[in-house]
Amino acid sequence: MARRSRRKHLVPGADAAMSAFKAEVMRREGFVVDPGRPDDVKFEVAQSLGIPLEPGYNGNASTESMGQVGGQIGGAMVKELVRMAQEKLANGNP
């Protein structure tokens, strides 16, 4: 039996900050993001990739196509985190 992933942040209360960060990063990537519903950006990303994704059940979608959507979002977030860390280090802030 497959174990379900628990998508919880280690820091209590980090959910709101991570959602705001996602919204800001994806807005900079050129997507229209509702700050009140940043998770909905996945539908716009999917549309830009030509992947059919609708609210609700998407059981017919392939793992590969869903990975493309999540990868674009997560990849943009990681790039921004790396950029922020490099900027801090360059400014002498540990």
Q: Is the pTM of this model over 0.85?
A: no
pLDDT at 9 over 60: yes
pLDDT value of position 1: 46
Chain mean pLDDT for the chain? 85
How is the chain split into domains, by residue range?
Answer: 14-53+61-90
Alpha helices in 11-62 (DSSP H): 14-28, 41-49
Backbone dihedral region of 92: left (phi > 0), alpha (psi from -120 to 50 degrees) or beta? left
Average pLDDT over residues 35-60: 86
